[in-house]
Amino acid sequence: MKCVFSPQKRIQSRNPTFSAYKKAVKEMFQMIPISAEVEASSPDRCRTCAVVGNSVNLKKSHYGPLVDFQDVVIRMNQGRTKGFEADVGTRTTHHVMSYAPMKSKIKANKDLVMVLNPSFMRYVHEVWLQKKGLYPSTGFMALVLALHICDEVHVFGYGADSDGNWSHYWEELRNKKLKTGGHPGDTEYAMIKELDQHRIITFYRGW
C-alpha cells in the first residue's frame, strides 16, 4: 500500500505559517487511530515491558530470551535484531524514532503509527532532566513512555562502555571519544540508575 504523507511534508517546510501548520497537523492525525491496540492492565494482570536501548553493553549479554519474554518490546532509531538475537531478542512491538525528514511517498500501515505530542519531549526535558542538555535522547523518551504504559519496566542497553564511549552494539567503534551530542547522556544514565535503586524499573547493565 502506498500512502502520501503530504501533511507531514508541509509541516517540515522551512517557513510554514501557523494556519498551514494547524491544518497539516489536523490532516495528519486523521490518518492515525485514536488509540493503540495495547492490552489494558487489570488487577489480575501485570503488563511487562522491555525497553531496549542501543548501547554496546548489550554485546555478549545473552539478554535476548528475557527481552522476548516481556509483553511489550520497545526499540528505538536504528536498533536492529538480525545477527544479534541472542543479546537483544527478536520481538518488537513498538519502535520509537527521532526526527527525520520523510519521503513524500512511503509504504506503511497507518494503523501501526502513533505520533507523540511535541510537548512530551518538553515534559521529559524539563521535568525529568531538569533542562540538562539541549534535548532528551530518543532512548530516554522511550523509557519515560514505557513508565506511562507499563506496569513493570525492564530496561536494557543503556550507558557508555568501560572507556566512556557511547557506541552502538552493531557498530565497530572508530571514534574512541564518542559522546552523546546534544542530549545529556550522563544525566540520563544517572536517572536510570536511580529509578533502578528505587525499584521503579529493573535495569540490566550488560557487560
Yes or no: say if 68 and 89 are a contact pair by the CB < 8 Å rule. yes
62 included as an active-site residue = no
Q: Rounded distance, CA 207 to CA 169, Å? A: 11
* H helix runs in 150-203, sequence order: 185-197
pLDDT tens-digit map of 11-21: 444 555 667 65
* Local structure of residue 168 (DSSP, 8 states): B
Domain-wise residue ranges, the chain: 1-31, 42-204
**Catalytic residue (choose from 135, 158, 189, 204):** 135
Q: Which of 94, 125, 154, 183 is catalytic?
A: 183
| pLDDT tens figures, 188-202 | 999 999 999 999 999
- Which residues are paired to 76 by β-bridges? 96
Which pLDDT band, with edges at 50, 70 and 90, does 10 fall under?
A: very low
User: Global pTM?
Assistant: 0.73
Fold type of domain 42-204: sialyltransferase cstii, chain A (3.90.1480)
